[in-house]
Structure 1
Amino acid sequence: MRNNMIIGYTAGVYDLFHIGHLNLLKNAKGMCDKLIVGVTVDELVSYKNKKAFIPYEERIEMVRACRYVDAVVPQDNMDKLEMCKKLGASYLFVGDDWYGTEKWKNYEVEFEKNNIKIIYFPYTKGISSTRIRELLHQERGASLTDLK
């Protein structure tokens, strides 16, 4: 860290950007001097047999335009610890839907060894990109696989 600047990092697909995304970014920025956001590249989204509704180039520009975001980087792998170390981040911010899971308990141990704290923010109830896709399906009659 330079000049005692506190750097925070978070990452996500940010497809169908919604208030939950905005809440996470706003809360994260409130805890650090510089917030760096990783936006998942299309190729990495497809590893879950999903497809982003909005192309990467547009998603990264929307996140970059958010006033709470100081810098945006491509997320081209799932190793958030590696990215935090590379960026000099003191905090990793995630939604609390991950809290308490075995995977994230293990992450907490690894991050702590590297003096990086994982901060969980409340998941915004009632909204998600998946929910938006479902609503689009209901309204337009589109196949869910078309919106996957």
Structure 2
Amino acid sequence: MKPYKIGYTTGVFDLFHIGHLNILKRAKEQCNFLIVGVSTDELVMNYKKKSPVVPFEERKAIVEGIRYVDMVIPQTNRDKFSAWEKVSFDVMFVGDDWKGNPLFNEVEKDFNKIGVEIVYFPYTKGISTTELKYKIKSKETVI
């Protein structure tokens, strides 16, 4: 029996890599139904001040094709409570690189009031979209 019914996680999922797959797999291991919010191009530009390499519709299609994912929704803002109001999950999965971040400290307080848990997963060492972009720019072989 999985400990949670409905799980939720979010991300840009640009240049999809093993770190992305790891969080989706670990999340699905703990819930019966996994919802993934994929950040829209506009949202990424708004808070990262740069566009994803892969357009939203393609990133969304990639995440939808992952067997661990039951539903994909667009993430149009970073308000996790608003996401909960729309899809009513009982747990949110987040990479531990966000633990202690002021944004997630506030999210934890809000979620504690309504009984939603946050589970932090270890960040996959040695891989990130930023690192992939650097390797591509440096013309190193990426396989």
TM-score, normalised relative to structure 2: 0.91
CA distance in 1, matches of 2:104, 2:44: 20
Equivalent residue number for residue 31 of structure 1: 30
Q: Deviations 1:53-95 (Å, cap 9, x if unpaired)?
A: 0001100000000000000001111111211232110001110
CA distance in 2, matches of 1:82, 1:24: 22
Equivalent residue number for residue 127 of structure 2: 127
Q: Which moved more, 1:105-114 or 1:36-45?
A: 105-114
Equivalent residue number for residue 8 of structure 1: 7
Runs of 4 or more consecutive aligned structure 1 residues displaced over 4 Å after TM superposition = none
Q: Which moved more, 1:79-88 or 1:58-67?
A: 79-88
TM-score, normalised relative to structure 1: 0.88
Q: Which residue type is aligned with residue 71 of structure 1?
A: M
CA contact (8 A) 2:80 2:107 kept: no
CA contact (8 A) 2:90 2:115 kept: yes
Identity, in percent, stands at: 50
2:99 pairs with 1:108: no
CA contact (8 A) 1:64 1:71 kept: yes
List alignment gaps of at least 5 residues for structure 2: none
User: Number of paired residues?
Assistant: 136
CA contact (8 A) 1:9 1:36 kept: yes
Q: Which residue type is aligned with residue 12 of structure 1?
A: G
List alignment gaps of at least 5 residues for structure 1: 141-148
Equivalent residue number for residue 76 of structure 2: 76
CA distance in 2, matches of 1:73, 1:36: 7
Q: Which moved more, 1:76-85 or 1:48-57?
A: 76-85
Equivalent residue number for residue 145 of structure 1: none
Equivalent residue number for residue 89 of structure 1: 89
2:20 pairs with 1:21: yes
